[in-house]
Amino acid sequence: MILKDIEEDKVIQRFEEIFENKNEKLRDTILLDNNMKNLHSLFTDRGRKSIKLADFLYRLSFMEHFEKEFLDVMKQIKIKYFFNLDEVFYDWVTEIAYYGMYDLATSAIAKEGFKCTTHYTTRLTLEYLYCIKGKDREKLFKIYDRILLKRQLIQDLKNAQDKREIARYKAPDLISQKDAEEILEDAKEFEKEILPLIVTPSC
Check whether 115 has a pLDDT greater than 80: yes
Assign domain 32-198 to its CATH architecture: Up-down Bundle (1.20)
Q: Which of 107-111, 147-151, 163-167 has the highest mean pLDDT?
A: 107-111
**CB 191 within 8 Å of CB 48:** yes
The stretch 83-107 carries a mean pLDDT of: 88
Q: How much is the pLDDT for 1?
A: 41
Q: Give residue 162's pLDDT band: very low, low, confident or very high (50, 70, 90).
A: very high
Check whether 203 has a pLDDT greater than 50: no
Residue pLDDT, tens place only, 79-90:
656 655 567 889
Check whether 104 has a pLDDT greater than 90: yes
Question: Cβ–Cβ contacts within 10 Å for residue 115, how many?
Answer: 20
| Domain ranges across the chain | 32-198
Those residues with Cβ within 8 angstroms of residue 187's Cβ, 6 or more apart along the chain or in another chain: 51, 54, 97, 98, 100, 101, 160
Q: How much is the pLDDT for 140?
A: 75
